[in-house]
Copies of this chain bind each other. A is one copy, B any other.
Amino acid sequence: MDDKSERVTIGGLAKAAEVNVETIRYYQRRGLLNEPVRPAGGIRYYGSADIARLVFIKTAQKLGFTLSEVSDLLRLDDGAHCVEASELAARKLHNVRGKIDTLKRIEELLSEMVTRCHTQQETVACPLISSLYKGVGIL
């Protein structure tokens, strides 16, 4: 049980979680990660729970949660708030679906413009530039 993942310095924690040292401090200032007690003029030591917490944060971020939402999720991590947590995720999911729809519409528009530029037959002006001046309807 002499695990090296216990008793690491902030630099070791940063390496283990693949984040910047400054990022860790930033998370501490934001209250996402707590600062271990500092032994009177010494340095702070971190353990595997801190690494796990950083993994949690990074994962949630990858899924599109903001740091303030990550705070909320961490507060809901007490074994009694699964419903609230999943509601938060459901809202995020809704939000993600909206973004997908918007991006699909953009994809349509862009690919049509690119195609028209490519198959430029009789056209005088650049179809892409003209479209931008004309504006796009739904968006």
Contact = CB atoms under 8 A, between A and B. Distances in A.
Given A96-B107, A99-B103, A132 B56 contact: yes
A113 B89 contact: yes
A93 B118 contact: no
Given A92-B110, A114-B93, A85 B136 contact: no
Given A104-B100, A136-B59, A126 B89 contact: no
This chain: how many copies in the complex? 2
A: contact size bracket: 35 or more
14 contacts: A52-B133, A55-B132, A56-B132, A56-B133, A59-B133, A81-B126, A86-B113, A86-B114, A86-B118, A86-B128, A89-B110, A89-B114, A89-B128, A96-B110
